[in-house]
Amino acid sequence: MAQICVALNTDSWKKAIALIEKLQGEADLFKVGLPLYLNGGRKHVDQLLKDGVRIFLDLKLHDIPSVVEETVKGLPPVEYLTVHAVGGKRMVEAAVRTRPDIRIVAVTLLTSLSDEEAREIFKKRPRNLVIQLSRMVADTRAWGVVVSGLEARAVRKYFKMLNLVVPGVRLRRKRDDHARVVFPDRLKWLKGDDIVVVGREVTEARNPVEVLKKIRAALTK
């Protein structure tokens, strides 16, 4: 079964730490995004790492290779870090080369983009674009790629060397900024190193532990 990562969708460390304390027994790791990291994130992430909390740092870096190289040099020794695959092969390689202690994960296509938006921007169907970007990432020695559950099987079929991070996982369909989502029972085939990312459905629930348990059960039954 895949690992479960809870996205801390807040810019408040007080709220984030409360969620970590509540969910740490059920979640495998926690995702820190840009709003949270920019709010004194280095200090808090360093402390969480000392406390044994596994951190997925979701900064989605996208710049020229030298700037990405300088940026990742100063980051804490988290377990995972995201960069944008559309930054190109040299950019992804710069991150991989500079921080071999961090598993670099390349974001292919944001799950907020619908099929129509992806075709308008990239002139390709999401599946074709994700496969194209994954092929490039596979040559960089990055740890894996971020893909929606709709394209995950195709990436695994063609690029078995890549680990998969799948966001936009829902127990039920809900209108928010994820356009390409899947239910967890469609991801039972994921490997133990792969990661399923869950967010507001858990963190905004009245009983987040119970919702997280339901997601875990759906990934295994």
For 173, the 3-state DSSP assignment is coil
Catalytic position from the list 15, 22, 60, 124: 60
Contacts of residue 168, defined as CB under 8 A and 6 or more positions apart, other chains included, come to 111, 148, 149, 178, 180, 181, 182, 197
**Is position 73 annotated as part of the catalytic site?**
no
Task: Tell me the C-alpha distance between 93 and 104, whole Å.
Answer: 9
Which DSSP letter does residue 141 get?
A: T
Contacts of residue 199, defined as CB under 8 A and 6 or more positions apart, other chains included, come to 6, 7, 9, 167
Identify which of 165, 96, 97 has the alpha carbon closest to the alpha carbon of residue 130: 165
Backbone angles phi, psi at 112, to 5 degrees: -75, -15
For 204, the 3-state DSSP assignment is coil
Q: What tokens appear for 94 in the block? A: 């710069």
Using alpha carbons, list the distances in angstroms from residue 2 to 82, 143, 174, 184, 193.
18, 15, 23, 10, 6
Active-site positions? 60
